[in-house]
Structure 1
Amino acid sequence: MKQRVITGIIAGAGFITLIVLGNIPFTLLMIALATIAMWELLRMKQISAFSLSGAMGMLFMWLLLLPENYISFEWIHLERLETFLLLIVVLLALTVITKNAFTFDDAGFVILASVYVGLGFHYFMYARFLDNGLSLIIFILILVWATDSGAYFAGRRFGKRKLWPEISPKKTIEGSLGGTLLALIIGSVYTFFVPVFASWVMTVLFMLAVSLTGQLGDLVESAFKRHYAVKDSGQVLPGHGGILDRFDSLIFVMPIIYLLGFL
């Protein structure tokens, strides 16, 4: 527990500092975190990041991750999405070239993992670089952390009915409701002092979207780990596991709130 607290304080302080700084330091942090997260996913599947398929996965992820002003495709006359689709064709061709040593399942995993990680961190950067990006990112972090804390304590105190025992045996419906309630309370206090949206209705809808999809994101990573029989995604953060263990909710939330029109 002591190690967990120390790691949390140091890593949290550094993370918030770089978010506040923004610009290149923040971008480099996101690239580093996304790269480690992708490596953790590849390792779950027992694909080496230094193999051809692993390198392709990293390339896919970086292609989706990097901000528009960091990457240009004019020299090949293709858009980002077109380049991504072209690389998918190349990846599928590897199943033939390797005589199924690299299977269709492996190709599907690499593509899905790169989308999951790449777009998650991409939209985290996208949100930070909006005009109100700093207050918005802090708001999102507060909602996710409040949901996690509320779910933990409400689950321990009131938890009786299992939320999804096949995926995460310890999570309860009462914990989930408690997490969402605490997110609404703390989020409301934050927006009282730092308004993020002009409409109160929009603010409440945003808080619900972040809290609920954040919990779903946590379950998604739990499903990954259960399927591949691993306890933690990695050991980068002593006492906390890997990068995916800490950012599973956030990287699931960001693309969804973008698609819902909140960004």
Structure 2
Amino acid sequence: MKKRIITGIIGGAGFLYLVFLGGIPFTFLILVLATISYYEFLRMNQTSLFSIQGFIGLLSVIGMILSLNPIIPIFQYFSFLNVILFSLFVFLTFVVFVKNKITFDHISIFLVGAIYVSLGFGFMLKTRLIENGFPMTLFILIIIWASDSGAYFSGRYFGKNKLWPEVSPKKTIEGSIGGILLAVVAGIIVNQILHIVSSMTTAFFISLFVSILGQIGDLVESALKRSKEVKDSGNLLPGHGGILDRFDSLIFVFPIVYFLFKL
């Protein structure tokens, strides 16, 4: 647990500093995190990032993220859907050239993985780059981190009833409830400081919604790992596993919350 806490504090502080900077530094961080995440995804699927299919997938991830955030001028001419369609075309052409050594089943996995990674990190960056993006991003991050921490410690000390053992054997109902409660408290307090929304009731429901979404995102990645029979997506972060393990909730939350705030 000590290793987990130390890694969380150091990593969280560095991440928050780059969130605060925004712009090119945060864009670069997002691209690095997305690259590592796609590497972990490929690794779970017994594929090298340095294979042709891995390279096509990685370029797709980078293209999708930058199409959502045209911080590089040329990407203003490409939409997210355009990049997906072009990536699909390249993958299908690749299947022909390798004479079905890489099959349609394989490329569907690589493309879905690229969309999964790029949507989450792309909208995390997009949220930060909009007007008032820093407080909004900070608001979401704190809610998710509070939810994760509340779920971890509540499950560790009070967990008895399994939440969804077929997907994630260690998660408990008590942990889920503890995560939601801490997320709501954190969300209300942060909103009082940052004034993201106008009322405490709205802050309550947003925090509740974000915490539940984050836990679903966590279960999605758990289902992926279970299907591939791996414990963690990687081992880059001591006590936390890989980047996908640490960002699974945020990947799921940011696209949905971005559109929620845009309504």
TM-score (norm. length: structure 1): 0.92
For 2:158, the equivalent position in structure 1 comes to 158
For 2:212, the equivalent position in structure 1 comes to 212
2:224 and 2:41 map into 1 onto residues whose CA distance is 9
For 2:194, the equivalent position in structure 1 comes to 194
Question: Are the structure 2 counterparts of residues 5 and 79 from structure 1 closer, same or farther at C-alpha, using a change threshold of 3 Å?
Answer: closer
Question: Are the structure 2 counterparts of residues 241 and 96 from structure 1 closer, same or farther at C-alpha, using a change threshold of 3 Å?
Answer: same
For the 8 Å contact 2:146–2:182, the answer to whether it is kept is: yes
Question: Are the structure 2 counterparts of residues 225 and 209 from structure 1 closer, same or farther at C-alpha, using a change threshold of 3 Å?
Answer: same
1:258 aligns with 2:258: yes
Equivalent residue letter for 1:251 = I
TM-score (norm. length: structure 2): 0.92
Moved more, 37-46 or 99-108: 99-108
Question: Are the structure 2 counterparts of residues 73 and 153 from structure 1 closer, same or farther at C-alpha, using a change threshold of 3 Å?
Answer: closer
Question: Are the structure 2 counterparts of residues 73 and 151 from structure 1 closer, same or farther at C-alpha, using a change threshold of 3 Å?
Answer: closer
2:224 and 2:186 map into 1 onto residues whose CA distance is 30
What SS is found at the alignment partner of 1:169?
strand
For 2:145, the equivalent position in structure 1 comes to 145
For 1:10, the equivalent position in structure 2 comes to 10
For the 8 Å contact 1:73–1:80, the answer to whether it is kept is: no
Moved more, 246-255 or 197-206: 197-206
1:79 and 1:257 map into 2 onto residues whose CA distance is 20
For 1:72, the equivalent position in structure 2 comes to 74
For 2:242, the equivalent position in structure 1 comes to 242
The percentage of aligned residue pairs carrying the same residue is 51
Moved more, 200-209 or 56-65: 200-209
Q: How many residue pairs get matched?
A: 261
1:5 and 1:200 map into 2 onto residues whose CA distance is 30
Equivalent residue letter for 2:187 = G
What SS is found at the alignment partner of 2:163?
strand
For the 8 Å contact 2:60–2:83, the answer to whether it is kept is: no
Q: Which runs of 5+ in 1 are unaligned?
A: none
Shift of 1:148: 1.1
Shift of 1:79: 4.2
Shift of 1:47: 1.2
Shift of 1:255: 1.0
1:135 and 1:23 map into 2 onto residues whose CA distance is 15
Equivalent residue letter for 1:114 = A
1:125 aligns with 2:107: no
Shift of 1:155: 2.2
For 2:173, the equivalent position in structure 1 comes to 173
For the aligned residues, what is the CA RMSD?
1.9
What SS is found at the alignment partner of 2:74?
coil
2:236 and 2:89 map into 1 onto residues whose CA distance is 33
For 1:84, the equivalent position in structure 2 comes to 84
For 1:230, the equivalent position in structure 2 comes to 230
Q: Which runs of 5+ in 2 are unaligned?
A: none
1:3-82 correspondence runs (5 A):
3-66=3-66, 67-70=69-72, 72=74, 79-82=79-82
Q: Deviations for 1:170-206, whole angstroms, at most 9, x for unmatched residues? A: 1112221221111111211111122102344432332
Equivalent residue letter for 2:57 = G
Q: Deviations for 1:122-164, whole angstroms, at most 9, x for unmatched residues? A: 1111111122211111111111111112112222343332111
Shift of 1:84: 2.4
